[in-house]
Structure 1
Amino acid sequence: MKDFFQFIASLFEDVLFLPFYALADLELENWFLANGVNWLFMLIAAVAFGYWMMQLKKFNQNDTEDRSVKAHSFLGKDAQY
């Protein structure tokens, strides 16, 4: 049983963590390249945020959103604001 767990440890340390070790070595040379995945995620988030804002603007201009206080059933029938 001990050999099985040592195999798992060896698998992770010698094979599966190689990309992370490569990134750790790359960080010492170029920080921007090492954090390329983070930059990619930030770019995707910025594009998604921009798309979301354009959709909100489109719905506001078309006046298709129900903005009354009683638009949601959890507010109850007697909600008066």
Structure 2
Amino acid sequence: MKSFFEGIEDLFVNVLFAPYDMFRFMESWWASNSINWIFMLIGAVAMVYWMLQLKTFSDNGEEDKSISSHSYL
């Protein structure tokens, strides 16, 4: 089992997180945190898309808003 967990460690440290090592030694804060800004932008776009989809379904009247729709209500 020890070699199994060491294999997982090797995968993450030496393969999956290897691109982050180049960010560690950069002088620029913006360059170092660019990946975080990209993820925040993707999340914001996904949230706006999800809200627009919810509004579309709400405007079409497809959602059951009756009190008896859930037994716990």
Query: Shorter-chain-normalised TM-score: which range?
Result: 0.5 to 0.7
**1:5-24 equivalences in 2 (<5 Å):** 16=14, 19-24=19-24
Cα separation, 2, equivalents of 1:42 and 1:18: 21
Gaps of 5+ in 1: 1-7
| Cross-structure match for 2:50 | 52
Change (3 A) 1:48 1:18: closer
Please give the TM-score of this superposition, normalised by the length of structure 1: 0.62
Aligned residues, how many? 62
| Cross-structure match for 1:72 | 70
> How far did residue 40 of structure 1 move?
1.1
| Cross-structure match for 2:39 | 41
Cα separation, 1, equivalents of 2:50 and 2:70: 22
Cα separation, 2, equivalents of 1:25 and 1:63: 54
> After superposition, what is the alpha-carbon deviation per residue over 1:60-80, rounded to whole angstroms, capped at 9, x for unaligned?
11011000111124x1xxx5x
CA RMSD in angstroms, aligned pairs only = 2.4
Gaps of 5+ in 2: 1-5
Structure showing greater radius of gyration is 1
Q: Residue type of the partner of 1:56?
A: L
Please give the TM-score of this superposition, normalised by the length of structure 2: 0.67
